[in-house]
Amino acid sequence: MQPQTKLQPETVVAPQSARTIKLSARDLSRYYGETVALDRVDLDVHEGEFLTLLGPSGSGKTTLLQTICGLNLPSRGQLMIDGTDHTHTRPEKRGIGVVFQNYALFPHLTVAENIGYPLNVRGIGAREIAQRVGRSLETVGLGHAGNRFPNELSGGQQQRVALARCLVYDPSIILMDEPLSALDRKLREQMQMEIKRIHRETDTTIIFVTHDQEEALALSERICLMRDGRIVQAGTPSEMYDTPNSVFVADFIGISNIFEGQVSDGALDTPDGRLPLPPGRDAAGRGSLVLRPEMMRIDPDGPISGTVTDTIYAGAETRLLVTTASGKEVILRVRSGPIPAVGAAVRIGWDRERGRFLTREV
C-alpha cells in the first residue's frame, strides 16, 4: 500500500494593502539626448511581491530594471528602497541581486565556487560560505551538482545556478532580466514552476522582466505593462486579462478580437454589422468592442457572419479561424460540440455582458 500524500495547505498571499512597500519610484525618468527611455514612472513594489515588467521591445522595461539596480542613473525622479533614498547609490550598496539572461557563470569555476563567489568578494569565512552555498544548492534542487562545471549542466540547470548565486547572499530584492528567453518551451515552463516555488518558499521580493505575456500571466502576482517608457496599466493577471483599460492592453495581453465602430442606441456600428454592447454603454461616440476567443461561440442567431478558414487542434480545445464578411479574421476557442469544417459558413455570437467596450487606444 502506498503511503498517503499529505496535502499541503494552500498558500495564502497577504493583500498588498497589508504589506510593507519595499521599493518606491516617483517621477522616475531617463533621457538619452532627445530619446525618452523612461517617462515619469511611478511604481510601488511590496515586500515579498512577484512583480513583472511586461512590454514590447523598446517599452522601457529593461531601462527601468537597470535604473532600479543602479546600472543607470535617472535623469530625474527618486528611488526609495526600504524607506531610504537610493536614487544615486552605487549598485553594490543597494542590496539587490540580478539574474541575467546569459547566466554569466565563470566557466573555470565549479558550480559551488560560482555560487560562493559573491560571498568571497564580501570577505565571508570559508565555513559560512560552504553552509550558505549548500543551502542555496538545495533550494534550487541542485544539491548533487556542486562539484560540476557549468559546461556539464543543461541550460535549465545553469539558470538554477545563476539563481542560487543570487539567493546565496540574501539580497533585499531580486531582479530578473528575461532569464528564461534562451530556453526551449518545455524547459521554460519547468523553470517557471521552479521560480514560483522558490519565490513561495523564500518570500523574496522579485521584479521580473519579460516580453512574453503568457510568462507574465503564469508567474506574476502583479503585472506592469509598459509602452514608450510609461506604465500604461498595472494589476493582477486576471485584472489585466479581464479588464484592460485600453485597446493596447487588450491586444497585448492574451488574444483579443477587437471590433471598432460608432456607438448608437446601445450597439456598435461596424463593417460587420451592429454589434450589441455590454449594458450601460449607450453614450454616442467611437470605441472598440473587445471579445476574447473563449467568449465567442458558433451561434446560428449570432450577429456576425463569416467563413471558417482554418481549424487548429490544441488538445483541450480547438481554435477556429473565421474570416468575417468584411474580411476581418476572428479567433474562437471551442472546447466541446461539433467542429465546423474549413469552408463552412457560420454565424458567431456571445453573451452581451461578457464583452468589454473601450474608448482608449493606449
Residue type for position 221: E
* Domain around 305: 255-358
Domain's final residue, options 247, 272, 307:
247
Residue type for position 300: P
Distance of CA 221 to the CA centre of its chain: 9
Q: Are residues 228 and 151 in the same domain?
A: yes
Q: Is residue 11 domain-resident?
A: no
The predicted pLDDT at position 186 comes to 84
289 close to 357: Cβ distance less than 8 angstroms: yes
Q: Is residue 190 domain-resident?
A: yes
Q: What is the pTM of this model?
A: 0.86
List pLDDT tens digits, range 177-228. Answer: 988 887 888 888 888 988 898 899 889 999 999 999 999 999 999 999 999 9
Q: Are residues 218 and 264 in the same domain?
A: no
Q: Are residues 264 and 243 in the same domain?
A: no
Q: Are residues 223 and 79 in the same domain?
A: yes
The predicted pLDDT at position 202 comes to 87
Query: What's 124's domain CATH number?
Result: 3.40.50.300
Report CA torsion sign: 177, 183, 185, 187: negative
Q: Are residues 203 and 70 in the same domain?
A: yes
Q: Are residues 235 and 265 in the same domain?
A: no
Distance CA 321, CA 330 (A): 6
Q: Are residues 285 and 352 in the same domain?
A: yes
The predicted pLDDT at position 17 comes to 54
Q: Is residue 176 domain-resident?
A: yes
The predicted pLDDT at position 181 comes to 83
pLDDT tens for the chain, 362 residues long, are: 343 333 333 344 455 556 799 999 999 999 999 999 999 999 999 999 999 999 999 999 999 999 999 999 999 999 999 999 999 999 988 989 998 877 788 999 999 999 999 898 888 899 999 999 999 999 888 899 999 999 999 888 898 898 899 888 888 899 999 888 878 888 888 889 888 988 998 899 999 999 999 999 999 999 999 999 999 999 999 999 999 999 999 999 999 999 999 998 889 999 999 999 998 776 778 999 999 999 999 999 999 999 999 999 988 899 999 999 999 999 999 988 889 999 999 999 999 999 999 987 76
The angle formed by the CA atoms of residues 217, 313 and 215, to the nearest 5 degrees, is: 15
Q: Are residues 158 and 121 in the same domain?
A: yes
Domain count, the chain: 2
Q: Are residues 203 and 274 in the same domain?
A: no
Q: Are residues 114 and 206 in the same domain?
A: yes
SS3 annotation, the chain: CCCCCCCCCCCCCCCHHHCCEEEEEEEEEEEECCEEEEEEEEEEEECCCEEEEECCCCCCHHHHHHHHHCCCCCCEEEEEECCEECCCCCHHHCCEEEECCCCCCCCCCCHHHHHHHHHHHCCCCHHHHHHHHHHHHHHCCCCCCCCCCHHHCCHHHHHHHHHHHHHCCCCCEEEEECCCCCCCHHHHHHHHHHHHHHHHHHCCEEEEEECCHHHHHHHCCEEEEEECCEEEEEECHHHHHHCCCCHHHHHHCCCCEEEEEEEECCEEEECCEEEECCCCCCCCEEEEEEECHHHEEECCCCCEEEEEEEEEECCCCEEEEEEECCCCEEEEEECCCCCCCCCCEEEEEECHHHCEEECCCC
Q: Are residues 103 and 212 in the same domain?
A: yes
The predicted pLDDT at position 15 comes to 56
Query: What's 279's domain CATH number?
Result: 2.40.50.140
